[in-house]
Chain A
Amino acid sequence: GENVEQHPSTLSVQEGDSAVIKCTYSDSASNYFPWYKQELGKRPQLIIDIRSNVGEKKDQRIAVTLNKTAKHFSLHITETQPEDSAVYFCAASKGSNYQLIWGAGTKLIIKP
C-alpha cells in the first residue's frame, strides 16, 4: 500500500537559519500533499499544501517543493524563529482526505 516516509525525525537549527524537511511517497497516483504543524499539546494545523500540477508553492517564510518524478516533496522554512518549534507532519493523498497517508513527523527545535 501507499507509504510516506519523513526525514529527519528530529531537526535542530539555529534561530535565523533555514530548515528543510523531506518526505517521499510510494504511490505515483498521489496528487495532494499537505503539511501540518502541531505545537506541543495542541491540534495539528495546515500550514501549506501543494497539488501535483504545481512544482513549488510559497507563503512568506514557508515553501513546499514537489518532484513528481522522484516522488518526494519538501518543506522549507527560512529565517526560523522560536515560534517555528513544533512537530511537522507531511501527508499524501490520491484523491480524498480519508486516503491521506501521513508521515511519522519531524520535531523541529529552534535554538536561540
Chain B
Amino acid sequence: AQRVTQPEKLLSVFKGAPVELKCNYSYSGSPELFWYVQYSRQRLQLLLRHISRESIKGFTADLNKGETSFHLKKPFAQEEDSAMYYCALLGQGAQKLVFGQGTRLTINP
C-alpha cells in the first residue's frame, strides 16, 4: 500500500530560523516524491520534485530511500513561506498521486 505521512499538522518558526517539514512514505518500489504548496487564498501548486534535484524559493528536499523520507528544508525561513505544504507520492505506473495530511507552516516575524 502507498502511504504518505506528515507527522506535524502545525509548525511554527521564527523568521530567519531553519525550517524542516517532515515527510515519510511507505512504498515497496521506487516512487517519485513531490512537495506541493498552498499559499493563502491560492490554489495548490508544485513546489519541487525529487527527480529535479532543484532548489525552489530556497527549499530543498532529498529523497532518502533508506529512511523512506523526503523532508523539505530551508536554511532561513521568510514570512512569505507561511503556507500549507503537502508531500505527495507517485508510484511506478500509477495514475494518481497520494498526498499526506499536510503541514501548516507559520513564520513568525
A binds B: no
Binding site for B on A (CB under 8 A): none
Binding site for A on B (CB under 8 A): none
